[in-house]
Structure 1
Amino acid sequence: MVRINSYGQEIGDEVVQWKGSEAPKKVDLEGKYCKLEPLDVEKHAAALFDAYSKAPDDRMWTYLPIGPFKDYSDYRNFLLGVVNSSDSVSYAIVNHSNGRAVGTLAAMRFDIVNGTVEIGYVIFSPELQRTAISTEAQYLLMKYIFDVLKYRRCEWKCDSLNCPSRNAALRLGFKLEGTFRNAAVYKGRSRDTTWLSVTESEWADLRTTFTAWLSEDNFDEGVQKRKLTEIREKIKAIKSK
């Protein structure tokens, strides 16, 4: 429905009783396959460095402003800065099956006045890639962002040349918004940044999609029966009838 003000101008939808969102907290987020724990250098750094070191090469660092790290001390010093950041809260992804930290992600650049936050520094080790844990970790943080902290918008940004990151966001249900040209310079390169987002109005269907995909009956000996995108499209089709 189009809203018109007293001057005949179109204006945005009314936001009723908006009081702002909350800043992310350093709390555990528990799932079936993994747990997100607030990043702790003493507790997680060694396991994370070991997990990342199992990669056959350094391609996971190509599109990140940091890394690769020459040794454990170098990586540990980086994490010390991360945990002391004032504009982000980072989480270690801990595999329930062995208790090991196998990746990280962060809620960052949060704006509690307008209700926007970004998921960033998504760094998954080979142990985590293409597993149910990788999807559940994203779901746990998104659920916390929308259901608990009450954000209106969750953003995902990546180098426009980083196809795996963009495709991962699309698979999770983020919608492509566009590209900011010459948005940054990092590692001696120019970066165009692709923006994607999920809004609060879209979250309910995405929550249902994640819950269905993560259910035990969707897996046969660890292999998915239905893809996340298939479940989401089915939910969309049912609602359109």
Structure 2
Amino acid sequence: MTDLSHWMKRPTPGLQVLAGRRVQLEPLDWAVHGEGLFAAIGGEANTELWRWMPDGPFASPDALKRFLDWGSEKCSWRSMVFRAQTDGAPGGEILGMAAYMRIRESDGSAEIGCVAFGPKLRRTTLATEALALMAGHVFDLGYRRYEWKCNTRNAASKRAAERFGFVFEGVFRNDMVTKGESRDTAWYSITDGEWPAVHAALRHWLADDNFAKDGSQKRSLESFRAQ
């Protein structure tokens, strides 16, 4: 059993810029990010993106802002905006977002949620790097647990969690009522003991030499984690 007799409350994540090679994550500032964020994840073209979210889709920037303000003010979300980086230069196009949720500094636990990828971000190395930066930030702060939760009917979210390296823990039945439907929630996590291996696999998968000239991967992320 791990000795936690000297355990101390951990800092809150999501308060600083997280810079990667291909993408930069910035704490949400609506005055700076609002227009670009709505262009990436709002409007009729992104209706399906919000199918499994508690709210949305959003027809206007004001509607999206009200939702994110609710998350921040009522649920203490720390939303992070994803920007593309070109040749390592920040300030690129806004492509999507995610939020740190259910942050429990005293226990060293946090959840990633409201994962909203615009069309240009989906199924890209930028998306994987962005998620890796968020996870790495939490564990760098000394957290012990990082969570991913989703509707059991959301097959894409479950695949994404498992591909990244989250471990399935079980299902909370009749957990929520969302958009007039009952939701069973699938729970996943990565612990601090598991993170080094997950991180190593991500690092190897994201390396330039894992991709052909046409951008296709040579090896899957799962294969690196299995070796």
Per the normalisation by structure 2, the TM-score is 0.91
Query: Are residues 1:181 and 2:170 paired?
Result: no
Structure 2 vs 1, CA of residues 57 and 24 (structure 1 numbering), >3 Å: closer, same or farther? Answer: closer
Query: Are residues 1:218 and 2:210 paired?
Result: yes
Cross-structure match for 2:12: 23
Name whichever of 190-199 and 57-66 sits farther off.
57-66
**How far 1:74 moved relative to its partner?**
1.7
SS of 2:194's equivalent in the other structure is: helix
Cross-structure match for 1:6: none
1:183-210 deviation digits (Å, cap 9, x = unpaired): 0011111100000000000011111111
* Aligned partner (choices 133, 137, 157) of residue 130 of structure 2: 137
SS of 1:220's equivalent in the other structure is: coil
Name whichever of 68-77 and 118-127 sits farther off.
68-77
Taking the aligned partners of 1:120 and 1:100, their CA distance within structure 2 comes to 21
**Residue type at the aligned position of 2:225:** R
Taking the aligned partners of 1:46 and 1:226, their CA distance within structure 2 comes to 37
Query: Are residues 1:48 and 2:37 paired?
Result: yes
Cross-structure match for 1:108: 101
SS of 1:158's equivalent in the other structure is: strand
**How far 1:40 moved relative to its partner?**
1.2
Cross-structure match for 2:183: 191
* Aligned partner (choices 123, 128, 136) of residue 121 of structure 2: 128
Query: Are residues 1:37 and 2:26 paired?
Result: yes
Taking the aligned partners of 2:75 and 2:151, their CA distance within structure 1 comes to 24
| Aligned residues between the structures | 222
**How far 1:85 moved relative to its partner?**
5.3
**How far 1:218 moved relative to its partner?**
1.1
Structure 2 vs 1, CA of residues 71 and 55 (structure 1 numbering), >3 Å: closer, same or farther? Answer: closer
- Which of 1 and 2 has greater Rg? 1
Query: Are residues 1:203 and 2:195 paired?
Result: yes
Taking the aligned partners of 1:48 and 1:123, their CA distance within structure 2 comes to 10
- Aligned residues of 2:75 and 2:102 also touching (Cα < 8 A): no
1:88-119 deviation digits (Å, cap 9, x = unpaired): 21100001137011111111111111111101
Structure 2 vs 1, CA of residues 132 and 77 (structure 1 numbering), >3 Å: closer, same or farther? Answer: same
**How far 1:79 moved relative to its partner?**
3.1
**How far 1:77 moved relative to its partner?**
2.8
Q: Percent identity?
A: 38
Give me the CA root mean square deviation: 1.8
Cross-structure match for 2:54: 65
Structure 2 residue runs of 5 or longer lacking an equivalent are none
SS of 1:48's equivalent in the other structure is: helix
Query: Are residues 1:152 and 2:144 paired?
Result: yes
Per the normalisation by structure 1, the TM-score is 0.86
Structure 2 vs 1, CA of residues 55 and 176 (structure 1 numbering), >3 Å: closer, same or farther? Answer: farther
Taking the aligned partners of 2:42 and 2:105, their CA distance within structure 1 comes to 36
**Residue type at the aligned position of 1:77:** R
Structure 1 residue runs of 5 or longer lacking an equivalent are 1-11, 235-241
Structure 2 vs 1, CA of residues 69 and 55 (structure 1 numbering), >3 Å: closer, same or farther? Answer: closer
